[in-house]
Every structure is written in C-alpha cells, then in structure tokens.
Structure 1
C-alpha cells in the first residue's frame, strides 16, 4: 500500500498515460495548488496499457499544456494496477475503453471509486475526453478545454468531500 499523508487521492486514467491523463494530472494538480489544498489532495495518472511505461508525456501534450501554464515535464507514464483501487479515493477514466479496462481490474469493493472524468464537466456536454494522439493541435487544445472544465467541477466535489470529512 502506498503511504500518503494526503486526505484525498485522485488518479486519472487514459490508454497510454502520455496525453489525456497526464494533462488532467497536471491541470488538476495546478488547480489544487491554487486552491491551497496541495497538502490535502494528491494527484497521479496512469494508463490502461503498458505501451509507454517510463516515458514522459507526449511532446504535443507538453507543448499545449505549457502554453496555458501547466508543466507536465516531470511526469512519467505508468500502468494502472489493482493496488491503485486501494490507494486512491477516485479513479477517473477518460473514455469508454478506459472504463471497460479499468472495470476489469477493479476489485468489486472499490467499484464506487471508478468514474468517468466527464461526470465533472460543468460547461461541456461530452461523455468522454477524446484521444488527441492521432490528431493535430486542435485535439490537444480540446483536451485542455475539457480538462480545465472538468477540473473546476472536480475541485468543487473534492472540496465538499474534504469538508464532510472534517
């Protein structure tokens, strides 16, 4: 079991952990810091596949994130594990394929922790964060738009959870 002094732990999950989930990780972590919750909320990311384990986020993800003030350069890809469902309060997936793969790994007693990140969107009407890997710049910008929106909703949810925990 991972030891953490954080009160609330969130894991973002996409396919390879080089585009969407590291973007969500970086954006949400920045929002947590801005809200003064850095010591109370821990953020991480993982992929359902092992294609890129140990690799930094995609250069295009890093470039577009940096243009908005988010530095993803210290992150390294890792694969989702069964232990993650013990260690995290929320495991947030980016799309249906990620959900199906994570559900196959998730112990039944932790099923309530596994959710779609899109559930936290405040202004966008989408059920997924689409994979920008095969696309151009617009796809990476769209991911950032969705992630920033979802991060605002998620931050409100986390703040309410922390308040109810005392």
Structure 2
C-alpha cells in the first residue's frame, strides 16, 4: 500500500481539500486498494475539528466527500509510515523537516513542485485569503501530476 499524506498549517482548509480531491482521483482510477490518502496539520489548533466551512462548501459543490475528516497534527510516526508527504507551502515543508529525527522514509515535497509552470509557488491559505476556488484549482492541477508520479515511481498502470 502506497501512503500519501497532505499537510498544511491547521488541517482544516488546504490539506483536507487535497485529501478529498486526491482520494476521489485515486478511486476513479481504480487504485483505492493500492493508494491510501490522509491529511494533517503542522499546528495543533484544530485537532478534532471538521474541515473549514469554505473547504466543506467547495467539496460539496464538487460532489466530493469529507465524511469523517477531523483535524490532526503530523507526528514523527507519519514520517516513517507515509511514502509521500506533500506540504502546501514552504513553511509546512520546513516544519515537516524539523520533525525528522533521521532521514525519513517519506518523499517530502511541496504540492506546487509538481506543476512545471510555477514550481516555486505556494498554495495560499484560504483561512486568511478566503479564496477556496483558487486553492481548489491549484490542488486539482497538482494532484493530477502527483498521481502520475506515484504511478510511474511504483510501476502502476491506470
């Protein structure tokens, strides 16, 4: 089983949106028995809370489930249990790397690094910007490329 973890600051806006979008793509590709998807935050402010209302509204508009999603904080164990840990911005990546006691098992990358036209860009936090549509567009594009890379890296055809 290939395990993918999306990470943002509080695990209520960007990373749960990425989890839902990516899980849907994995299911549509018939790969749910090969790829597991989760999300977490680098901070502890929203542990146990459902996704932000703006994320829920966007996911409902798209017909994507966020059932059972609750905010949680990334742990040292996640660095060993997940194969891919995908941060939404450079600050998330720095915080993820601080958790590493040794070289982690996971491939740690920023989501936008999968987008060739703007690999240095961060996914902005809609908790502050309110722009959940922009965030969805970036996540949708980035997760397409992420799925392609995972399949290529692991010799999976879909």
Task: Report the number of matched residues.
Answer: 156
Tell me how far apart the structure 2 counterparts of residues 126 and 18 of structure 1 sit (CA, whole Å): 23
Q: Deviation of residue 78 (structure 1)? A: 0.4
Q: Deviation of residue 108 (structure 1)? A: 2.9
Residue 11 of structure 1 corresponds to: 5
Matched, 1:158 2:150: yes
Structure-2-length-normalised TM-score:
0.92
Q: Given that residues 16 and 49 in structure 1 are in contact (C-alpha distance below 8 angstroms), is that contact kept between their aligned partners in structure 2? A: yes
Structure-1-length-normalised TM-score:
0.88
Tell me how far apart the structure 2 counterparts of residues 15 and 56 of structure 1 sit (CA, whole Å): 14
Structure 2 portions without partners, runs of 5+: none
> Among residues 138, 142, 149, which one is paired with 1:146 in the alignment?
138
Residue 69 of structure 1 corresponds to: 63
Inter-CA distance 106–122: structure 2 relative to 1 (3 Å threshold): same
Residue 53 of structure 2 corresponds to: 59
Q: Deviation of residue 135 (structure 1)? A: 2.6
- Describe how 1:1-166 pairs up with structure 2 within 5 A: 6=1, 8-110=2-104, 113-121=107-115, 127-136=121-130, 139-163=131-155
Secondary structure in structure 1 of the residue aligned to 2:129: coil
Secondary structure in structure 2 of the residue aligned to 1:17: coil
Between 77-86 and 65-74, report the one with greater CA deviation.
65-74
Q: What do you get for the CA RMSD once the two structures are aligned?
A: 1.6
Between 119-128 and 28-37, report the one with greater CA deviation.
119-128
Structure 1 portions without partners, runs of 5+: 1-5
Q: Deviation of residue 124 (structure 1)? A: 5.4
